[in-house]
Structure 1
Amino acid sequence: MTNIWNSFINITLRWPESVAAYIQWLGPLVARLVVGEIFITAGWGKLQNLEAITENFISWGIPFPHILTPFTSGAEFVCGILIILGLFTRISGGILGVIMIVAIKSALWEDVDSLDTLLGFSETAYFAIFFWLAIAGPGKVSLDHLLTRK
């Protein structure tokens, strides 16, 4: 019975882990490219339409909307670029993670009626990715890695 269990563990856990070790660099890179592009586009779009976005911020009750709208829009754009480059990734991930928390709380919280609803928001998925990048870093294919190599 022990041999069957060991074989099961080797096939289901150890073999995929050993295969994944060869492409471990790819996970953070793909995550960075996807969310980075989304936030470059979103930030740029908001910067091009600040009046309407400011009105949204006012309606959501965000304080200092005339200051925070261009700041948030610019942060989304600049941090999106930095995330793609893998430069200052932990800082950019932290900033964008906070922006996602504020977006959920201010714009979406009234729609939350269950954990399923909360976890179904794209903003929650973005938060999870930014949280992961802020903690784990950008991976080996990044400027952060290049600048901190010994």
Structure 2
Amino acid sequence: MGWFRSLSWPSSDSRSIALIRAAVGLIFFTQGILKFLDPHMGVMRFTRIGFPLPEFTAHFTGAFEIVCGLLVLVGLLTRLASIPLLIVILTAIATTKIPELSHPGQGFWFMVSDARTDFAMTMCLLFLLSVGGGAWSLDALVWKEEASR
């Protein structure tokens, strides 16, 4: 049992960062795929919101969500990958949640309830932007390897 105690376990901070990366990465990755597979989540949604060139915009956004979501998931270029995702989520809030304030029968509390996932993703992305990928990430492996050269 002595070998078990001698193992170097990453701190709970590392596990926490990995769990946040998993949530953010998987959510954006799957939402990106849906923009290609389901017209209601992609082109039709972007058309309804009023984006110009909705087919291009939906697929462009979906591609960023897939690539950056995977990067966040594995913890490679975590801070850099968080920036486009932050732009995506803030644009989603501005174009789909804020307008709910002026819809009859909806208002502030409806918008707050509807925006809870977007708010959580925004806070998680800001967290990852500030702390990076953590010890359980490819960033840690790459930069540790770079530092030893």
TM-score of the aligned structures, taking structure 1 as reference length:
0.76
- Supply the AA of the counterpart residue of 1:131: L
Does residue 63 (structure 1) correspond to residue 81 (structure 2)? The answer is: no
Check the 8 A contact 2:20/2:124 in 1, yes or no: yes
- 2:6 alignment counterpart: none
Q: CA offset at residue 114 of structure 1? A: 3.7
* Contact 1:50 1:70 survives alignment (8 Å): no
Percent identity over the alignment is 26
Unaligned runs of 5+ in 1: 1-20
Q: How many residues align?
A: 130
Task: Give 1:125's aligned amino acid.
Answer: A
Q: Runs of at least 4 residues of structure 1 off by over 6 A?
A: none
User: When the two structures are superposed, what TM-score results if normalisation uses the length of structure 2?
Assistant: 0.77
Taking a change above 3 Å as real, the CA distance of residues 64 and 134 of structure 1, as seen in their structure-2 partners, is farther
Judged with a 3 Å threshold, the aligned counterparts in structure 2 of structure 1 residues 140 and 76 are, in CA distance, closer, same or farther, namely same
Structure 2: runs of 5+ lacking an equivalent: 1-9, 102-106
Q: What corresponds to 2:72 in structure 1?
A: 83
- For residue 19 of structure 2, the aligned residue among 30, 33, 40 is 30
Q: Which residue of 1 is the match for residue 104 of structure 2? A: none
Contact 1:39–1:80 under 8 Å retained in 2: yes
| CA radius of gyration, larger in | 1
- Judge which range, 70-79 or 58-67, deviates more: 58-67
- Structure 1 residues 52, 40: closer, same or farther in 2, change over 3 A? closer
Is this contact kept in 2: 1:62–1:106, CA < 8 A?
no
Instruction: Judge conservation of contact 1:33–1:83 (CA < 8 Å) in 2.
Output: yes
